[in-house]
Amino acid sequence: MILLIVNQIAEIVLGIQSKLTLPNLDTWVSVASATETISLRELTRLAFLETGVEVEFSGKGAHEKGVVIDMDIDRMKVLGLNPDILKFGQTVIKVNVLQEKGEWITLNAEETSKPIEMWLADAVQSALNLLR
């Protein structure tokens, strides 16, 4: 599921897709090889940040959304992204609350032995390379 989310974020910043619909953002993501845990909300925010796009969340439950609040133009250019594809205030994450609270997503030890932030950086770069 995490790689699917990363791929969809890459599609958004490349202009292939306009919005990512996610389940309960309070879902926890853990790395099996470490004691690290992070919310799906934070994981998604960090993945967008890897592309140079800062997302802020507002609202609650099914009304929660993530919007673009800042863009690091230099970072986007380094990644070969066109900053004109996204606009400030654009909704890029929408919530579809179908999951029960308290669910967990686990990245298996085979998937990563790195901290989540480093793993995300590599995953985002790979997704962007595959989609170009």
- Measured at the CA of 119, the angle between CA 116 and CA 124, to 5 degrees, comes to 120
Tell me, letter by letter, the H, E, C secondary structure of 31-92. Answer: ECCCCCEEEHHHHHHHHHHHCCEEEEEECCHHHCEEEEEEECHHHHHHCCCCHHHCCCCCEE
Domains of the chain and CATH, by start: 2-126 (3.90.25.10)
pTM for the whole thing? 0.82
Give me the pLDDT at residue 71, please.
98
Confidence of residue 99 (pLDDT cuts 50, 70, 90): very low
pLDDT tens, 13-71? 999 999 998 888 888 887 655 567 888 899 999 999 999 999 999 998 888 999 999 99
**70-89 pLDDT, tens digit each:** 999 999 999 999 999 999 99
pLDDT at 114: 67
